[in-house]
Amino acid sequence: MSKRVVITDYGFADIDYERTALEKLGYDVITGQCKNEDEVLSLSETADALLVQWAPVTKKVIEKLGNCKIIVRYGIGVDNVDLQSAKEKGIPVCNVPDYCIQEVADHSIALALTLARQLTTTDRLVRNGIWKITPPLALPPCREMIFGTMGYGRIAREVLKRAAAFGFKTAAYDLFVSPEQMKQDNVISLTPAQLLQQADIISLHLPLNEDTRHIINKETLEVMKPASILVNTARGGLIDTLALAAALKDKKIGAAGLDVYEKEPLPADHPLIQCENALLTSHTAWYSAASVPVLQQMATQEIIRGLTGQTLKNRVA
């Protein structure tokens, strides 16, 4: 039987780099655009390795993998892979955590500043023939606002560097980073409750797991400032989006800038679509002309390390 690397799905223009690099090692590269576990199963059962973007690599899929030596996700989050099942099967799972950091940070700050300066609402007024030299709502200066992040990893740190450059007071919550480390970075360490109550802008930069799913929900939204802004470029499941839509509609918070959602694409009938104080982008924060080839190269090199017995760089399970 030939040696096979399966790319379950991808959104790139081509997979020339992957094909060339892996064929040099004697592997056939099999590609698909799998949407569900049955499609993944039919393509992957005899694979020596899996490269996955969005396709579900479930317990059922992993139990059927007979030859697989490594699973690599094109991206940072790995919530579409059953990590526990992979661990039990002895299959390493890796991600690519060190690409698109600058792009996501740029996108996060762009969403935050657009909403903080009320650009979308002012633009709407101008297009409707309403000319006012003051914005629709009260607008404090950046220097009087607290910009907080939930999470203080690579991307969150870059976001807060950008926020500081605009004069924001910066704060963060992270269970795994000491207050002393944050203080060295001129960032105030807050508890989750303090961050929710005090921050004018909250940007989410957490992994999605059992502890963080719906960390923003009806109860947490109610303790946020009435004019606060919520930004999410991390994982859609961090927010109960129905609760968020209700809070936006009822003006419980000021605005939200979202790039990720619990279900993607965002359903056309989702109540967030009707929220004029929501700025919605289509999971594009990761993208730039430079980030795509870097992602493909890094993921492929990790696959090669797994297939050739080298030390893995970014093993998560």
User: Pick the catalytic residue: 63, 219, 264, 276?
Assistant: 264
């633009």: which residue's tokens? 123
How far apart CA 5 and CA 27 sit, in angstroms, is 6
How far apart CA 174 and CA 185 sit, in angstroms, is 14
How far apart CA 222 and CA 115 sit, in angstroms, is 20
Residue 107 annotated to the active site: no
User: Pick the catalytic residue: 235, 262, 302, 305?
Assistant: 235
How far apart CA 156 and CA 223 sit, in angstroms, is 22
What's the one-letter identity of residue 36?
N
User: Pick the catalytic residue: 19, 214, 270, 283?
Assistant: 283
With vertex at residue 151, the alpha carbon angle to CA 201 and CA 237, rounded to the nearest 5 degrees, is: 85
Residue 37 annotated to the active site: no
Total Cβ atoms within 10 A of residue 238: 23
Helix 119-127 with 101-116: angle, nearest 10 deg: 60
How far apart CA 194 and CA 204 sit, in angstroms, is 15
Residue 103 annotated to the active site: no
How far apart CA 89 and CA 265 sit, in angstroms, is 32
How far apart CA 68 and CA 45 sit, in angstroms, is 8
User: Roughly how many angstroms between the first and final C-alpha of the chain, as a whole number?
Assistant: 28
For residue 316, what are its two tokens? 């998560």
**Residues catalogued as catalytic:** 235, 264, 283
